[in-house]
Structure 1
Amino acid sequence: MTDLPSLLILTFSPIRSDPRVIKQVELFKDKYRVTTCAYGAAPDGVAEHFALPDDSRGWPSDKVGLISRQYGKVYDGLPAVQAARAVLPKGRFDIILANDLNTLPLALELEPVLGVHSDLHEFAPREKEDNLKWRLFIAPFMRWLCSRYLPAAASVTSVSQGIADEYLKDYGTHTRVVTNAAPYAEGFVRPVGEKVRLIHSAAGQRYRKLENFIEAMKEAPEWLSLDMIVMPNEPDYVAELKAKASTVPSIRFRDPVPYRQLVATLSEYDVSVVFLPPTNFNLKNALPNKFFEAVQARLGLIVGPSPAMVGLVEEYGLGAITEDFSAASLRKTLLSLTPEIIDGWKQAADAAARPLSAESQVVVWQEAIARIAGRDRTATD
């Protein structure tokens, strides 16, 4: 019996809480001999796991190296790269699936027998372009990584068509799309109750302008409530939000739930508000996890005029699109809600749950890895 090809899934993220990477593990664990390298404990079902120290950063902090543009030195100095080099054997894996741009040089350096697939979760050169220091010092490093290493990847995927188009335009990299769709979940449509219950989850980062939600919900009618799940990425900012919301009784902050419980938790609500002001290129082209999780939870959706989300909302009749990204526009949309309208959106989400599930998307990864795996096949019968 032929041994399964070996596949290393490499990420500088906490793997058990990274929905995109966990989908890769679930997809490949029975088709390949899967090894993972990431922060945290091993995901279920892998053959081997290399845990990185939680405090080993995967992004640059070498100011002198960045200013002097010694980018090879900057990359070599990344603590996550150093930690991974210390434990990962060179030349042992047939294929490496490298998540995000910061793992790609390391994946190539590890000399997989057959090749590297690069899954780019963002358009890296413009990821934090709203920050002047980032634009001046980090963006050139990201552009260097793209120019130097993307041509060596056997294949590339990203999360939305806008981001894929940008990689092709700027670097000539043909990039296929695997959206952040959630796995299909059996569910049913819960009719709207006496109150319309809204939910929004987000990273607690200032550039996301979460204060728009508080402004939109000021003096909201009693039939409307909003729960917010905000991760403490920027603790001072999150504290500011909670202070501002303390005088808005229609808003409640709730703790995050484990990913496996998320869709079931969301199903308690009526509408997910996925409202991302385009403060940088990636937010403008975002098609986030929360959009697809809302579909699997059979919720309606309210989105801003973000191109990738607008297309799906219109195609499947999933919800409403605000006129712009202002708090006033969001408030206007929220006040127009009725139980009848929302129930129609929920029915549409139920109909779209299978075509918009992860199972319809991950075939692109399956095909890409299979093409790499097939490189060494000889014509034997």
Structure 2
Amino acid sequence: MPDRPSLLILSFSPIRSDPRVLKQVQLFAPLYDVTTCGFGGAPDGVVEHIEIPGDARAWVDDRLAIATRRYETAYWNIKAVTEAKAKLTGRTFDGILANDLNAVPLALWLEPRSGVHGDLHEFAPKEKDDDLRWRLTVAPFMRWLCRHYLKQLTSITTVARGIADQYEADYSVTVGVVTNAAPYSDRRPTPVHEPIRLIHSAAGQRYRKLEAFIEAMKDAPPNVTLDMIVMPHEPDYVDELKRMGKDVPGLTFREPVPYAQLVDTLAEYDVSMTFLPPTNFNLAHALPNKFFEAVQARLGLIIGPSPEMVSILTQYGLGAIVPDFEVESLRTVIRELTPDKVASWKQAADAAAKDLSAEAQQATWKTAIENLLGSPSARRD
């Protein structure tokens, strides 16, 4: 359609492997002329992809500018920003979907005809608030970005209600929610295995305290096993975990799989353990991909008392809630697993799969971009 509005999806991430951004591409490429700008190769379905060099860091390198609070200088000296700006200068788009706070100032600088929608994947001012140095140096920069740019956005979304509420309270903006739900998968629950098969898939980062799963399995009953898929974000930590778990009965480390294969891989199991100690603000309000991927794989769930997950799990009866983040409490829940209990959770996941799919969530994005660019159906009429 020659009259389709143009939409730039801007993300300082490898878009082909970024689940949230890839969902945006898949949603909007059939409706608009979508150009993407990010790391790595072009995602399928776009009219053009503008690649940012892989060695261009998307984070602040100008420590002097940060230390002296020359935040505008610090932002425009970010290598990925300068690379993207050079490639996008002179280009005009009808609308821009900017992913994460670090893409927002550049998107606004490009002055698209109809405005910018910002999709904020975390609460940026508290992203690493467990780190004192980060709180003292980077957090003020993030707060400055929020104060100066969020009110210039036409619309905003984020991943969970608690994070949206914090943005609204701190910066007087209206924020919608699009969860990290996985695309709907047409499948049925598998019978519960004997022994019951548990799975935990996570980024290998020390602040996630993945050693809790290893400790919990040291005294696990023989009717359960646990496989861990740990991405090597911090290779030394992942190696340390593997040494800790080497002689633990029933515990296996499994190699990571491509995202496109993840739900099929999870479906080989019975229960996903999505247990995230609240070591920082964003983890306290976590509603992660893995929660929704487990539902699409038709697994039961074991979670900690994370309020965003508790609300949905309770509504749909998807699994068990560990009352705190202590290893002994997690171990108790594992000991209480029975095939009948797990089978009921898997059936509940099957009943909830459509409600909790990406397709059900994306209406908020679709409305926001239609408000920028107009409705595709209206253009056809």
Normalising by the smaller structure, the TM-score range is over 0.9
Which residue does the alignment assign to 1:177? 177
SS in 2 for 1:113: coil
Quick one: which amino acid aligns to residue 103 of structure 2?
Answer: T
Which residue does the alignment assign to 1:363? 363
| d(CA) in 2 for partners of 1:91, 1:47 | 14
Show CA shifts across 1:361-381 (max 9, x none): 111000000001149xx9xx9
Displacement of 1:89 after TM fit? Answer: 3.4
Q: Could you tell me whether the CA contact under 8 Å between 1:90 and 1:112 is conserved in 2? A: no
Q: Could you tell me whether the CA contact under 8 Å between 1:91 and 1:113 is conserved in 2? A: no
Show CA shifts across 1:255-310 (max 9, x none): 11111111111000000000000010000001000000000000000000000000
| d(CA) in 2 for partners of 1:226, 1:219 | 12
SS in 2 for 1:64: helix
Quick one: which amino acid aligns to residue 323 of structure 1?
Answer: P
| d(CA) in 2 for partners of 1:217, 1:224 | 9
Aligned structure 1 segments of 4 or more residues deviating by more than 4 angstroms: none
Instruction: Say which is worse superposed, 231-240 or 113-122, in terms of deviation.
Output: 231-240
Which residue does the alignment assign to 2:198? 198
Question: Aligned pair count?
Answer: 378
Quick one: which amino acid aligns to residue 12 of structure 1?
Answer: F
Show CA shifts across 1:86-137 (max 9, x none): 2113451110000000000000111111100000000000000001111010
Quick one: which amino acid aligns to residue 365 of structure 1?
Answer: W
Show CA shifts across 1:64-84 (max 9, x none): 111110101110111110110
SS in 2 for 1:164: helix
Which residue does the alignment assign to 1:166? 166
| d(CA) in 2 for partners of 1:270, 1:49 | 39
Q: Does 1:238 align with 2:238?
A: yes
Q: Could you tell me whether the CA contact under 8 Å between 1:65 and 1:73 is conserved in 2? A: yes
| d(CA) in 2 for partners of 1:229, 1:57 | 27
| d(CA) in 1 for partners of 2:201, 2:193 | 22
SS in 2 for 1:287: coil
SS in 2 for 1:330: helix
Quick one: which amino acid aligns to residue 198 of structure 2?
Answer: L
Displacement of 1:41 after TM fit? Answer: 0.5
Identity %: 62
| d(CA) in 1 for partners of 2:2, 2:172 | 37
Which residue does the alignment assign to 1:60? 60
Query: What pairs up with 1:1-381 in 2 under 5 angstroms?
Result: 3-374=3-374
TM-score (norm 1): 0.97
Q: Could you tell me whether the CA contact under 8 Å between 2:274 and 2:290 is conserved in 1? A: yes
| d(CA) in 2 for partners of 1:136, 1:107 | 27
Q: Could you tell me whether the CA contact under 8 Å between 1:181 and 1:293 is conserved in 2? A: yes
| d(CA) in 2 for partners of 1:39, 1:2 | 28
Show CA shifts across 1:180-232 (max 9, x none): 00010001111112111111111111111111111101032222111111111
| d(CA) in 2 for partners of 1:138, 1:148 | 16
| d(CA) in 2 for partners of 1:94, 1:87 | 17
| d(CA) in 2 for partners of 1:236, 1:143 | 32
Instruction: Say which is worse superposed, 84-93 or 260-269, in terms of deviation.
Output: 84-93
Displacement of 1:2 after TM fit? Answer: 5.6
Show CA shifts across 1:130-156 (max 9, x none): 011110100000000000000110000
| d(CA) in 1 for partners of 2:239, 2:260 | 27
SS in 2 for 1:207: helix
Q: Could you tell me whether the CA contact under 8 Å between 1:301 and 1:345 is conserved in 2? A: yes
Quick one: which amino acid aligns to residue 38 of structure 2?
Answer: A
Q: Could you tell me whether the CA contact under 8 Å between 1:94 and 1:114 is conserved in 2? A: yes
Q: Could you tell me whether the CA contact under 8 Å between 1:9 and 1:96 is conserved in 2? A: yes
SS in 2 for 1:191: coil
| d(CA) in 1 for partners of 2:251, 2:168 | 42
SS in 1 for 2:30: coil
Gaps spanning 5+ residues in structure 2: where?
none
| d(CA) in 1 for partners of 2:327, 2:117 | 41
Q: Could you tell me whether the CA contact under 8 Å between 1:94 and 1:112 is conserved in 2? A: yes
| d(CA) in 2 for partners of 1:230, 1:135 | 27
Q: Could you tell me whether the CA contact under 8 Å between 2:220 and 2:334 is conserved in 1? A: no
| d(CA) in 1 for partners of 2:184, 2:374 | 29
TM-score (norm 2): 0.97
SS in 2 for 1:86: helix
